[in-house]
Structure 1
Amino acid sequence: MNVALKILEKRALGKLRKDKRNTNSDNPYLERVPVIKNGRVVKHKMQERPVPQGLSRNDAKILRRVRRRAYRWDMGFRCCCFGFKFGWSSVIGLLPFIGDFADFLMAFALIKTASGVDGGLPKRLYGMMFTNILIDLAVGFVPFVGDLADMLYRANTRNAWLLDAYLTEKARALREGAVQDPDDGSKVRVPAELQVASEDRDVEQGVEPARRIEPAPSNPALAPPSRTLARGDMPPPAKPTMPGRNQSGQRTDGLQGRQAHDPRDRQTRKG
Structure 2
Amino acid sequence: MTFDFAAAQGLVGRDPAAVRRRIEAMEQLLERAFTIPGTNRAVGLDAIAGLIPVAGDLVTAAMGAWIVWEARNLGMPKWQLWRMAGNVGFDTAIGAIPFVGDAFDFFFRSNSKNLAIVRKHLDRHHPSTGIIDQA
TM-score by length of 1: 0.41
Question: Are 2:72 and 1:115 equivalent residues in the alignment?
Answer: yes
- 2:46 alignment counterpart: 89
Which ranges in structure 2 are unaligned for 5 or more consecutive residues? 1-13
Superposed CA offset, 1:94-123 (max 9, x none):
110111111111110121122212xx1101
How many residue pairs match? The answer is 119
Post-superposition shift, 1:89?
1.5
* Residue number among 23, 27, 31 corresponding to 1:74 in the alignment: 31
Give me the identity figure in percent.
26
Superposed CA offset, 1:157-200 (max 9, x none):
1101100001111136xxxxxxxxxxxxxxxxxxxxxxxxxxxx
TM-score by length of 2: 0.79
Superposed CA offset, 1:195-229 (max 9, x none):
xxxxxx77x79xxxxxxxxxxxxxxxxxxxxxxxx
In the alignment, the residues of structure 2 paired with residue 152 and residue 71 of structure 1 have an alpha-carbon distance, to the nearest angstrom, of: 15
In the alignment, the residues of structure 2 paired with residue 78 and residue 58 of structure 1 have an alpha-carbon distance, to the nearest angstrom, of: 32
Which ranges in structure 1 are unaligned for 5 or more consecutive residues? 1-56, 173-200, 206-271
Check whether the contact 2:30–2:60 (CA below 8 A) recurs between aligned residues: no
- 2:22 alignment counterpart: 65
- 1:128 alignment counterpart: 83
Aligned structure 1 segments of 4 or more residues deviating by more than 3 angstroms = none
- 1:153 alignment counterpart: 108
In the alignment, the residues of structure 1 paired with residue 17 and residue 126 of structure 2 have an alpha-carbon distance, to the nearest angstrom, of: 10
In the alignment, the residues of structure 2 paired with residue 59 and residue 164 of structure 1 have an alpha-carbon distance, to the nearest angstrom, of: 11
In the alignment, the residues of structure 2 paired with residue 81 and residue 105 of structure 1 have an alpha-carbon distance, to the nearest angstrom, of: 31
Going by fraction, where is helix more abundant, 1 or 2? 2
* Residue number among 100, 125, 128 corresponding to 1:170 in the alignment: 125
